[in-house]
Amino acid sequence: MLRFIKYTFLISILTLGGCSEKPLNSPYGSNDKSSKVFYSSFQERPKHLDPARSYSSNEYAFIAQIYEPLYQYHYLKKPYELIPLTAREMPELHYFDKDFKNTKDKNKAVYTKYILKIKKGILYQNHPAFFKINEDYIYHEISEIDLENINTLKDFKDDETRELTSDDYIYQIKRLADYKNHSPISGVMQDYILGFGEYKNKLQKLQFSNSKEKINFVRSYNIKGVRKIDKYTFSIILKKQYPQFIYWLAMPFFSPMPWEADLFYSQQGLQKKNITLNWFPVGTGPFKLTENNPNLRMILEYNKNFRGEIYPSLEDKIINKKLVSFNNSKEVPFLDKAIYSLEKEQIPRWNKFLQGYYDNSGIASDNYDQAVSLNNSGDISLNKELEDKGIHLTTATSASTYYIGFNMLDTVIGGHSERSRFLRQAISIAIDYDEYISIFTNGRGIVAQSPLPPGIFGYEDGKNNFNKTIFELQSGKIIKKNIDQAKKLLTKAGYDNGIDSQTGKPLILYFEATGAGADTYAFLNWLRKQFKKINIQLVTRVTDYNRFQEKMISGTGQIFQWGWNADYPDPENFLFLLYSKNGKVKYGGENASNYESQEFDELFLKMKNMRNSSQRGKIIKNILEIIQKDSPWIWGFHPKSFSLSHKWVENVESNLMANNTLKYKRINDEIRYKSINLWNKANFTLLYILFFIISIFIFSVILMIRKKDKEKVYD
């Protein structure tokens, strides 16, 4: 009994002795208050980390910190402005006529030549692919014996670096043309870069005995319009004018790729162990990927070879094509490491943010009321609990659009007859997107008047720039036309009260949907009610995304929902979604509604390669009037992005076009350490009570035992 009492007392002492101010619920183990680490999360494993293939925001979140194209978006400026990144200056442009003679008359220009100059002294991150002894690459032909001890990139004993050259940018452009890389922009570049299509066809026809032979061919055989001028200069010739091309030069697709890395990763032994370019990037950026465990976490660490970069200022200017920086002493990156943990569920992700273990967070629908509310003036503000924690809210209207599309090839809803056009207009009036935004996005969006979102040239907000087909001006306010007006249009279309005048039967339309779960079916129920306002029966056909894609490609779907995120901040990137030559069925393009209009096409082709000007603005206005009248889409809404960050995260700016913004973030470690310890301080009150009860119980047992012992003695 005495031994039991002694152990109980010892356990209690150890338990209470372990009580300290250090958080016991930290998901990271030890809490290093001196480290400059950014903590965040991701929901889904990035599929492609090869810049030739990657075309997804969750992939860009990583590779944009590692790879560096020639240009980047200025972090602070609005409207968005491109500035040099690895380039020494903005491109030097030359124009040529159809006979390839220099011309200064852009109206006669056919070809455009971009001369691109990169900075000297830029180094890649250290990597085994660059390691040489006596000019021989040691790891380009790894034996099976050596591979036995290699399971990850860290298992290589030696690595090296080398300088970035113009050859690396040229090599990457050739990789875009390689059909085996499945680059999603290969078709677009074929339309613009001189000789790209021919090079692509050449690669497809040739047979190579091994990867080394193919890579040597790629290095030696040039694309006609892509030429090396010197070690730090190269040129690209476009076979038509395309001012938006510079935006592509700021995307990860045009990041440099060293041939050594491509050859290194092409070894079958490494590929079997998933040591590939798609898994382990090789870049010149401020960070490198040191851990890729997508079932647990991904870690970016500072690239010690990074040259450094000046933190931007609103005073920065482009003078004579070169960037003149205002700041002189703030060198980025400010972080040593970024740790991204896998969080598939919203609730644990949100809770860890509130505890301070994630530095930033979005706002899911389930957490919306807990995070924000409307103040007295109708503006969105943080709730008091979050304000008291010092959490910051950043909002911005995304350069995106979500819409409901009509298949213009459909015999009922499509075509250019007045009958079908009135029907589409009636439906567009009936669908209440203000209500949709309120119910399904917690008010995070604005009703669209056209495909163009705010921040894109051609978007105009005001009393004279709304969709007059669907909206009207009443008492100085833009409001949706009422249901009676929609029903009148329906009658004009020959569907009075929802009955087809030609057949005498109720009009039945079909909506193609994807997904499953409560959210999907709640939306579909809402949508059916919208159609019911004008007595149209809507049948919803739910399928998986692959089957949905098949319907879109074959043109068998009737009505559908889709969206588009800007690749670059130009109206061409949205209006091309309605250009006839981008039709989904005929051409496999992004014109999912298969809309065709000769008038639209003529204006679009005239506008697409123009620089922003009042003349371009007028053309865009005419384009919008055409599609607003034809109504191939119900224009839907432009979402608003809401992001939260803790008070210790500095330099948080809203830039929806830039992807490489991790380098600008700064962490105040002292504030974070104090806040996390305060918010996660363990409460041992219950433990104290339990210990007290156990002590009383033990003491009572001891008294009872002693009493019985005394009774035995007297007996």
Distance between alpha carbon 136 and the CA centroid of its chain, in Å?
Answer: 40
Is 77:314 a contact under the CB 8 Å cutoff?
yes
Tokens at 143, concatenated:
């034996």
pLDDT digits 0-9 by tens, 242-251? 989 999 999 9
Tokens at 155, concatenated:
């298992």
Backbone angles phi, psi at 235, to 5 degrees: -135, 150
Q: With H, G, I as helix, E, B as strand and everything else as coil, classify residue 399.
A: coil
pLDDT digits 0-9 by tens, 525-569? 999 999 999 999 999 999 888 889 899 999 999 999 999 988 889
Beta strands in 64-215 (DSSP E): 71-73, 82-84, 92-96, 111-117, 132-133, 136-137
Average pLDDT rounded to a whole number, residues 481-488:
96
CA 694 to CA 700: how far, in whole Å? 10
pLDDT at 11: 52
Q: Determine the residue type at 392.
A: H
Closest CA to 657 of 114, 71, 192: 71
Beta carbons within 8 Å of 676's beta carbon, 6+ residues apart: 23, 26, 31, 355, 356, 357
pLDDT at 684: 62
Q: Determine the residue type at 177.
A: A
pLDDT digits 0-9 by tens, 320-377? 999 999 987 789 999 999 999 999 888 999 999 999 999 999 988 778 888 888 766 5
CA 425 to CA 419: how far, in whole Å? 10
pLDDT band of residue 4 (cuts 50, 70, 90) is: very low
Is 276:265 a contact under the CB 8 Å cutoff?
yes
CA angle (578, 61, 156) in 5-degree steps: 130
Residue with tokens 């669209």: 448
CA 29 to CA 38: how far, in whole Å? 15
Local structure of residue 450 (DSSP, 8 states): S
- Rounded to two decimals, the pTM is 0.82
- Of residues 34 and 199, more confidence is placed in 199
Question: Residue 44: is its pLDDT beyond 90?
Answer: no
Is 393:630 a contact under the CB 8 Å cutoff?
no
